[in-house]
Structure 1
Amino acid sequence: MLESALLESVPDSLFIAGDWVAAESGRTLEVFDPATGDVLKSIADAGPTDGIRALDAAVAAALEWAATAPRVRGELLRGAFDLLQQRKDEVALLMTLEMGKPLAESAGEVAYGGEFLRWFSEEAVRISGRYGRNPEGTGHMLVSQRPVGPAFLITPWNFPLAMATRKIAPALAAGCTVVIKPAELTPLTTLYLARIFSEVGLPAGVLNVITTSSSAEVSAPIIADSRLRKLSFTGSTGVGRVLMKQASDNVLRTSMELGGNAPFLVFEDADLDKSVDGALAAKFRNTGQACTAANRFLVHRSVADEFVRRVAERVTEFRLGRGTEPGVTVGPLINACAVDKADTLVQDAVARGAAVVVGGRRPARTGSFYEPTVVTGVQPGSDILREEIFGPVLAIVVFDDEDEAVSLANDTEYGLVSYVFTESLDRGQRMIDRLDTGMMGLNVGVISNAAAPFGGVKQSGLGREGGAEGIHEYLSPKYTLIPS
């Protein structure tokens, strides 16, 4: 009964110019529970004209919102944070229903995602410039910050709240208006978040939400419109490349948080208790469906057997099931395609000589589930070492020395995050310098924090989200010379 009442409270329309409106086509899309395959809710399915309507609203509200006092912008974000905390149980349940993660993890996402609202409510009043005499002594230089302008935000399905707040909050704090398009698979949380913003009094047109099953068709005309000034995308590298090409026509400011292939290095001097705890957190959080999930576990030969034994022992204790069930620690994958991918990668690794220690099967139950899996002895050339797994599969490779570990870790086109476990401070510092990633966890398996800059290098993306750096993605510096 609680689930049905919650789903009833989620808007089923597009949010444009402060109103809940139907798609002009009259189309709807269905949102499914990945644990059961049941339809959760039917909602509006936007077409290209709806996307332009949303951009129209953002453009119409842009000047007034940019001129709104930073304190007012900050207080509205803080109000949304406070209301989110009041409704944290409802939002956590909603995420579990549409995405599948266990309730405890959804509660953690509410806390994490909410922090972006609180952090950027505080950053809104700290936007600063500089003033000083020029070197020639002929005048004074004034550097101020202006909002970039209307922004189009495209979010993925795996963290329905945090990916929305991580983009919306800095944009609004900077004075930009927004059109956000959540993923087709998990749009309900973003609709509920828009309702929260509406209830705290966010002016009409500042935030607009379009849900659609035709992402490319709806996004292309928005990106092609010269009134849009900013594009932020989180998703696959392949789609990111396409969007960057489209954005180049109007020279849009872009932020791209793309794919990952995170190495997890366990050196011979590592604390194995810490390493195992970190490995389980870095791999199995969100059922492995995170761009920050550890993808390749590189373990020194001298500790590999013991590491495998301890990890396998812990993984056998996991409980697979629907995220709303008590005691469940691993939920479903998002859909059948994700299950197929995980299984294909495991079978390829086994065919090349790897051994499955735990799991490696599709359980005989309804829903898109895959058993938590540990694979050891993974051989060079295996697809599982090159592709982002996005599932509950822990793949282990053995190394013999530090140089080999670094070479293996950097042998990828991606560079989002790395994890290093060592008790040597000198080695830890060397890894900070030598690993080609935008982020690193040293003796820790979860690193994301609203106060820290999130982002990668190489084909893992451009720009940063979160931290003091995050708001600058939505600001443009303006230099003025004032003669003496």
Structure 2
Amino acid sequence: MELPGEPSKREVITTYCPANNEPIARVRQASLADYEETVKKAREAWRIWADIPAPKRGEIVRQIGDALREKIQVLGSLVSLEMGKILVEGVGEVQEYVDICDYAVGLSRMIGGPILPSERPGHALIEQWNPVGLVGIITAFNFPVAVYGWNNAIAMICGNACLWKGAPTTSLISVAVTKIIAKVLEDNKLPGAICSLTCGGADIGTSMAKDEQVNLLSFTGSTQVGKQVALMVQERFGRSLLELGGNNAIIAFEDADLSLVVPSALFAAVGTAGQRCTTARRLFLHESIHDEVVNRLTKAYAQIRVGNPWDANVLYGPLHTKQAVSMFLGAVEEAKKEGGTVVYGGKVMDRPGNYVEPTIVTGLDHSASIVHTETFAPILYVFKFKNEDEVFAWNNEVKQGLSSSIFTKDLGRIFRWLGPKGSDCGIVNVNIPTSGAEIGGAFGGEKHTGGGRESGSDAWKQYMRRSTCTINYSKDLPLAQGIKFQ
């Protein structure tokens, strides 16, 4: 929303198409006064929304999902245009929002706490769950629709209002999604401010982190910024939900099915041009299969169809910004300095836009500093290992703990991998890639990934506050633990 006044005093940013770096939109950013007014309107809207029964809220979310379905192709195309991911991924991202709306509709009839047995006669002990109030949602450029959807659909059925700040470089997508939601709300005679948007940069993000009126702040982004956000929120004893970086590994043992390993590593390392938080950045291969897998993977990389992301036949598009290209080149050079050999890629492509070659690097030590640094680019570091204990330790030695996967047929090894001495990540896969999570499970990671959980399972609890309620329906007043006070 925008307050009356002089628009010229508000910053206007230009968003660019990553495929050619041509400008596509100019979006006016919110001022701090705009932000404060938006929060006020969102809080007022929450008072209306919280009174609506959860199943009725679910019906509104169902309509939002239907509205997104109707525009899935055009929204997916917009994601390709402004973010740069290929069309099938752009459409898939909108589909993910649709799916979480469907999931949330069912959840709206299931959220609630248990009735617990009381030790006191004539007493009932129950858990009551209520919405936290206003949920702030700060999302990153790489999933400009889906991550907001995970938060928004679940937060809404829980009875919360939402305040969204998308990435400044994908502002057009944020505006388009918000307009779709607002129409559904207003068609149902509800205030559009239930799902508010403020376009802005670090100043708006800082305001959200420090604002006591924002009851929960969900932040998706880098570990470095996430740490600052967490400290600001914790300073006011607020709640934060953090989805931060990942340094994800695929491990292939000697008994792995290579017909699964190669396409899985390809998709996980190259999908979204290496810009997913679940992108595979490390590939550990048993020494007996290392050379064969590297050879197969190199040939597969050579077959990748590169082009404009909105071309349905393309599998690999550009990086999001020119700055990302510079980071890619810096990481490749650092890998070489630390003893790595580039066996595929490593260069910027000679074409318009932010295109770089998907890259495979071998010969580095597993503890090399560049290996332990998350570079948001399609660089895959490949290593040899000898045994299970060694490689499980290598998987866990990085600071992040988001996603991980092993390829094996050994049932005992699979359950050791899933157990307390296996992977320390929030997503622990077997015989599938590190990326491509389903909405039914909780999504998130451990350690420097932040510990937050979004999407399915019981992630809804993070958007609500719990009260333990004891009700005395007798005429006596017995105390717990048999205490006598008379």
In structure 1, the partner of 2:88 is 104
Shift of residue 138 of structure 1? Answer: 5.5
SS of the residue corresponding to residue 481 of structure 1 reads: strand
SS of the residue corresponding to residue 168 of structure 1 reads: helix
SS of the residue corresponding to residue 468 of structure 1 reads: coil
Matched, 1:465 2:454: yes
Residues 254, 462 of structure 1: 8 Å contact kept: no
Shift of residue 332 of structure 1? Answer: 0.5
Amino acid at match of 1:314: A
Matched, 1:149 2:133: yes
Distance 1:229 1:270, change over 3 A: same
Residues 88, 312 of structure 2: 8 Å contact kept: no
Matched, 1:211 2:195: no
SS of the residue corresponding to residue 158 of structure 1 reads: coil
Amino acid at match of 1:46: A
Amino acid at match of 1:391: A
Distance 1:222 1:360, change over 3 A: closer
Residues 272, 307 of structure 1: 8 Å contact kept: yes
Distance 1:138 1:159, change over 3 A: same
Amino acid at match of 1:87: K
Which residues of 2 match residues 154-233 of structure 1 at below 5 A?
154-201=138-185, 203-204=190-191, 205-212=193-200, 215-233=201-219
Shift of residue 351 of structure 1? Answer: 2.5
In structure 1, the partner of 2:358 is 372
Q: TM-score, normalised by structure 1?
A: 0.93
- Which of the two has higher C-alpha Rg? 2
Structure 1 residues 93-134: Cα deviation after superposition (integer angstroms, max 9, x where no partner): 000000111112212222223211221122122111222431
Q: What is the alpha-carbon distance in structure 2 between the residues aligned to residue 21 and residue 293 of structure 1?
A: 44
In structure 1, the partner of 2:437 is 448
Matched, 1:333 2:322: no
Equivalences, count: 466
Superposition RMSD in Å: 1.8
Shift of residue 37 of structure 1? Answer: 0.8
Residues 2, 34 of structure 2: 8 Å contact kept: no
Distance 1:456 1:24, change over 3 A: farther
Distance 1:193 1:58, change over 3 A: same
Distance 1:266 1:21, change over 3 A: farther
Shift of residue 219 of structure 1? Answer: 2.5
Shift of residue 469 of structure 1? Answer: 1.5
Matched, 1:419 2:402: no
SS of the residue corresponding to residue 93 of structure 2 reads: helix
Matched, 1:82 2:71: no
In structure 1, the partner of 2:424 is 436
Which residues of 2 match residues 315-330 of structure 1 at below 5 A?
315-330=301-316
Matched, 1:93 2:82: no
SS of the residue corresponding to residue 389 of structure 1 reads: coil
In structure 2, the partner of 1:42 is 26
Q: What is the alpha-carbon distance in structure 2 between the residues aligned to residue 391 and residue 94 of structure 1?
A: 22
SS of the residue corresponding to residue 179 of structure 1 reads: strand
Q: What is the alpha-carbon distance in structure 1 between the residues aligned to residue 59 and residue 256 of structure 2?
A: 45
SS of the residue corresponding to residue 378 of structure 1 reads: coil
Q: What is the alpha-carbon distance in structure 2 between the residues aligned to residue 72 and residue 186 of structure 1?
A: 32
SS of the residue corresponding to residue 259 of structure 2 reads: helix
Distance 1:22 1:180, change over 3 A: farther
Q: What is the alpha-carbon distance in structure 2 between the residues aligned to residue 435 and residue 347 of structure 1?
A: 30
Matched, 1:361 2:347: yes
Distance 1:220 1:127, change over 3 A: same
Structure 1 residues 225-245: Cα deviation after superposition (integer angstroms, max 9, x where no partner): 322211110001111111111
SS of the residue corresponding to residue 137 of structure 1 reads: coil
Distance 1:288 1:322, change over 3 A: same
Structure 1 residues 345-381: Cα deviation after superposition (integer angstroms, max 9, x where no partner): 1222222322222111111222111111122222244
Residues 10, 31 of structure 2: 8 Å contact kept: no
Which residues of 2 match residues 397-408 of structure 1 at below 5 A?
397-408=383-394
Match of 1:51 among 11, 18, 35: 35
SS of the residue corresponding to residue 341 of structure 1 reads: helix
Q: What is the alpha-carbon distance in structure 1 between the residues aligned to residue 167 and residue 159 of structure 2?
A: 25
Structure 1 residues 31-56: Cα deviation after superposition (integer angstroms, max 9, x where no partner): 11011111111112112111111111
Residues 168, 199 of structure 2: 8 Å contact kept: yes
Residues 414, 459 of structure 1: 8 Å contact kept: yes
Amino acid at match of 1:99: M
Shift of residue 465 of structure 1? Answer: 0.3
Q: What is the alpha-carbon distance in structure 2 between the residues aligned to residue 224 and residue 393 of structure 1?
A: 36
Identity of aligned residues (%): 30
Residues 173, 471 of structure 1: 8 Å contact kept: no
Residues 88, 107 of structure 1: 8 Å contact kept: yes
Q: What is the alpha-carbon distance in structure 2 between the residues aligned to residue 262 and residue 140 of structure 1?
A: 47
Shift of residue 319 of structure 1? Answer: 2.1
Q: What is the alpha-carbon distance in structure 2 between the residues aligned to residue 401 and residue 132 of structure 1?
A: 48
Match of 2:239 among 253, 257, 281: 253
Residues 55, 222 of structure 1: 8 Å contact kept: no
Which residues of 2 match residues 380-391 of structure 1 at below 5 A?
380-391=366-377
In structure 1, the partner of 2:295 is 309
Q: What is the alpha-carbon distance in structure 2 between the residues aligned to residue 29 and residue 264 of structure 1?
A: 39
Question: Structure 1: any 5+ residue segments left out of the alignment?
Answer: 1-13
In structure 2, the partner of 1:62 is 46
In structure 2, the partner of 1:3 is none
SS of the residue corresponding to residue 462 of structure 1 reads: coil
Distance 1:270 1:211, change over 3 A: same
Shift of residue 15 of structure 1? Answer: 7.6
Shift of residue 23 of structure 1? Answer: 6.1
Residues 208, 217 of structure 2: 8 Å contact kept: no
Distance 1:96 1:449, change over 3 A: same
Structure 1 residues 414-439: Cα deviation after superposition (integer angstroms, max 9, x where no partner): 11110111111111111112111011
Distance 1:22 1:275, change over 3 A: farther
